[in-house]
Amino acid sequence: MTTGDRKTLLHAAMAAVRDCADQMETQAASLLQALPKVPMNERLRVTAMELSAGLRDASSRVTFELALLQAELGEAKADAATVVRTLSSLDATMMGALAGMAEVVEKLETAAERDEGNERPFVLMIEATGVMLQGLEKARAATQALSAAMPAGERP
């Protein structure tokens, strides 16, 4: 693989992580706006709102770290191994932020099965989770492709 090919993969990986963070921000903002307006169990609302705020915070941290990484690349202060380590860490940050979604979605599903009035918050959360998980999978795949393209001696 040529250096140009690796640069293309590097830019693709950074773009995929940025897109994932942007999607996470968008979905979190949407949930934070919608959840207070829908009828639902108050404890679940508080949990979902806290989780959504955490998603927004995580996306902001990832975006900030990407900007720092981009600056380091521009100044030739970061090598490919550093980029892969940083992107992997950012993928993990987003995965960690999304981890709590499954439990909340499960609780909302149970609530919706008992009372269909709880269906709307369940749908909102599951749709947002699906979008974010797809973005995360693309980010992780792009980071892994970059890592795999690096010569064995340069891998983190």
**pLDDT single digits (tens) 24-71:** 999 999 999 999 999 998 999 999 999 999 999 999 999 999 999 999
Domain presence at residue 153: no
**Residue 7 confidence (pLDDT):** 85
CA dist 95 and 109 (Å) reads 22
- 49: Cα separation from own chain's centroid: 17
139 pLDDT tier (thresholds 50, 70, 90): very high
Domain presence at residue 92: yes
CATH number reported for the structural domain that contains residue 77 in this entry = 1.20.120
Domain presence at residue 94: yes
**Residue 152 confidence (pLDDT):** 67
Dihedrals phi, psi of 74, to nearest 5 degrees: -65, -30
Average pLDDT, the chain: 91
Q: Return the exposure string of 128-155: e unless at least 16 CB atoms fall within 10 Å of the residue's CB, then b.
A: bbebbbebbebbbebbeebbebbeeeee
**Residue 23 confidence (pLDDT):** 97
- Which range marks the domain in which residue 115 is found? 3-147
Say how many domains are in the chain: 1
**Residue 61 confidence (pLDDT):** 97
Domain presence at residue 154: no
CA dist 151 and 124 (Å) reads 43
**Residue 155 confidence (pLDDT):** 54
Domain presence at residue 100: yes
**Residue 122 confidence (pLDDT):** 94
Domain presence at residue 106: yes
Domain presence at residue 56: yes
Domain presence at residue 152: no
Is the sign of the CA dihedral 19, 21, 23, 26 positive or negative? negative
pTM of the model: 0.89
CA dist 8 and 4 (Å) reads 6
